[in-house]
Each structure stands twice: as C-alpha cells, then as structure tokens.
Amino acid sequence: MFHREGYTIIAGTLAGYGLAAWAVYRWLGSASWGAWLAYGLLLVIVALVLQFFRNPSRHTVLQEDGVIAPADGKVVIIEKVFEPEYFQGVRLQISIFMSPFNVHVNRNPVSGEVTFFKYHPGDYLVAWHPKSSTLNERTSVVVRTPQGHEVLFRQIAGALARRIRWYIGNGDKVRQGEEFGFIKFGSRVDLYLPLNAVPQIQIGQNVRGGETCIAKLLNE
C-alpha cells in the first residue's frame, strides 16, 4: 500500500523506468553485461521510491495518559528545553529522526482538539542540526487533550525534505494514531510535553509511528 503523496512521483518514476529501459535496449541490446547492469540500477531506483512512499497499516492502542510516537525513526533528543513559539517556557522535548528508509507518515500522538497551528517557511539544514527546529521549514501543532494536557508537535524539513504536508488545522478534533501529515524524504518530528511527563523510551531507540508509547502524561 502506498501513500497518496507518492502517486505522482511513483507514476513518473515508472514511466521514466520504461523509457530508460527502452533506451538501454536500443543502445546496448538485451544480452550485454552493460545492459543488465543498467537494468539493475534502474530497478534499484524504482525500489527506493516505492519503499519511501509505503504506507503500512498500524494498530494504535488508545491511551488517555500516553503519548504515541508521531513517526517512525530513531529517538535523538530527550531533554528539557525552552520552547519559545507557543509555551514560552521550559518543556520536555522528545525528537525523532526519520531517515529516507523510514515510513514518513506522521500520526497524531494524542487525541483532543487542535488549539494552535502554524506553518513556517524556512531553511533546509540537516535534520539533526540543533537549529533546525527553529530555522527550517516546519509546522507547529498544539493539541489539548480531554484531560487538559497541551502537547506541541512539530514537523521539521531536513536537507532533502522540502515538502511538508499536513491535513489538520485549528479547531479540528483529532484521534490518537490517525494520520495528520507527511514529510517527503529525511526529516524530523519534535514533541514538547509537560515537565512532569515520564519518558518511556531512551536515546537511540527506534520507534514505530502510531504504536510505540514514548511518554506518559501525569495529572497534576
């Protein structure tokens, strides 16, 4: 199953593969080593495009006090930081880095109502750069849960990811685990949680979007 964001690119890639394969056949024939090498390289390109836009089904176990990973990838940051855009105060930041080989569907980490949304055009620093969360192209979303917790999650474009897609806006009701966006090619998602949130993961751990619980929210 492939994501709708990839339909045009997949179609173009397959068409390009057909034309390139025809050209190789005309120039090199069908039996030479050069032709087979060219066919192999073309198939690798097609396979890379197909795997990038794959959209596997995920089973989300709803958790009122849990924060579910919004994306596949590796946990690269767990620390308390100052969040200047919305909270203007210290929050617990958890960041997930997505390589080009990860599934790039973004999913709601909590259920609730979208109380803040903003898109920021910006630069394209590598996703692990410390300033990418404030300088790169990005979106910021805040969801207030039924229990009153506010969770901010941010899509961040990387050096290759230059197209962020989102499907939610202010006032929308969202459900934990459901798709809210997509980032094309390598990128990152940051979450900003209440200071008393308890991480359930550790640095370097690989997580699955829509399934892995990354933190527990405690009622004050």
Work out the pLDDT band at 152, boundaries 50, 70, 90.
very high
Question: Would you state the pLDDT for residue 175?
Answer: 97
| Residue closest to 156 by CA, chosen among 201, 179, 190, 130 | 190
Tens digits of residue pLDDT in 42-89? 888 888 888 778 888 899 999 999 999 999 999 999 999 999 999 999
Question: Would you state the pLDDT for residue 40?
Answer: 82
CB 143 within 8 A of CB 112: yes
In whole angstroms, give the CA distance from residue 148 to residue 145. 5
Residue 11 and residue 89 share a domain: no
Residue 80 and residue 35 share a domain: no
Residue 209 and residue 160 share a domain: yes
**Would residue 147 count as lying in a domain?**
yes
In whole angstroms, give the CA distance from residue 119 to residue 139. 4
Please tell me the pTM assigned to this model.
0.84
Here the tokens at position 199 are 């991480």
Tens digits of residue pLDDT in 79-102? 999 999 999 999 999 999 988 889
Residue 174 and residue 71 share a domain: yes
Neighbours of 200 (CB within 10 A): 16
Is residue 135 scored above 60 in pLDDT? yes
Residue 181 and residue 104 share a domain: yes
Q: Which residues are catalytic?
A: 187
**Would residue 159 count as lying in a domain?**
yes
Domain that holds residue 167: 66-216
Residue 119 and residue 42 share a domain: no
**Would residue 93 count as lying in a domain?**
yes
